[in-house]
A = this chain, B = another copy of it.
Amino acid sequence: MPDYIYKKIADLLRKDILSGKYGSEDIMPSENTLAEEYSTSRVTIRKSFAILAEEGLIKPRHGKGYIVQHPSHTTFELEFSDLETGDARHYHKITIVEPDGDVAVALKDRTKYVVMTRSTIIRNGKAVTCDEKYIPYRRGEPVVEKEINYVEFPDMFAERFPPVSMWVRLEVATSAAPRDVARLLGYAEGQTLMVVRRYIYSGNAECVGYTKRWVGMDYGPIVAKSGYMVNGRL
């Protein structure tokens, strides 16, 4: 829609890269050359190049020029949130337990007690995941009401930590379902299921939360995407 100069030029240059006119390791025309060619200022050309650089198509080299770099497709973007659109969540259990096994390892035995929340995601009337959340227990805090209201993790910790200083490690693996989980999802005990684990770390590298999602066969795969987009479309 907009006839912005920098955008137009970026589109033209991108096309030249995608079409193969400029191949990998080639050096693009210089900023000054293009500024003159398109009768515009150098700043505008820089803005066009900044777009392509952001997209990973070129890489600037001081004193040399912009070098064409075709992407290698080894980095993927994965979307994963607690709330999936159209799904319902059922809460089954909220208890205070002593951490053991992977929970103790994840939270590094920092606290004697953790709040454990167990819930399932219901899709088409069937439980497709079994989610467990473990949060260090703090004496004197009202537990049940709080935990049940917060579904998204960042909110959960908003009052304890500045949310922006947290980060999450996500793991996907398989594991044998324990009795409770198997029953909720309708499988035999010991059935191998996909498990998504999340470790929530605070800014000072402390693990302040741990979640485990047992994924049923009906849930579908975990999906990630990679590659080069044009106009927001792959």
Interface residues of A (CB under 8 A from B): 17-20, 54, 57, 70-81, 152-154, 162-174, 191-194, 197, 200-201, 203, 215, 217, 220-229, 234
Contacts and interface: CB of A to CB of B under 8 A. Distances in A.
A220 B77 CA distance: 20
Given A73-B168, A78-B77, A81-B74, A174 B162 contact: no
Copies per assembly: 2
A224 B70 contact: no
Contacts of A165: 18, 228
A162 B19 contact: yes
A75 B73 contact: no
A173 B171 CA distance: 13
Complex A-B, nearest 7 residue pairs according to Cβ-Cβ distance, in ascending order: A167-B227, A192-B192, A173-B221, A171-B221, A74-B81, A172-B222, A76-B78
A166 B79 CA distance: 20
Given A19-B162, A167-B227, A191-B192, 18 more contacts: A54-B54, A70-B163, A71-B163, A72-B152, A73-B154, A73-B166, A73-B167, A74-B79, A77-B78, A78-B78, A167-B229, A167-B234, A170-B224, A172-B222, A172-B223, A173-B221, A173-B222, A192-B193
19 contacts: A20-B162, A54-B54, A71-B164, A72-B154, A73-B153, A76-B170, A77-B78, A78-B224, A164-B228, A167-B226, A167-B229, A168-B225, A171-B221, A171-B223, A172-B221, A173-B222, A174-B174, A174-B192, A197-B221
B77 A75 contact: yes
Nearest to A163: B70
Nearest to A172: B222
A88 to B, nearest CB: 19
A167 B221 contact: no
Contact of A193 (B174, B225, B226): B174
B170 A225 contact: yes
A150 to B, nearest CB: 13
Given A72-B152, A77-B77, A172-B221, A227 B194 contact: no
Contacts of A167: 73, 225-229, 234
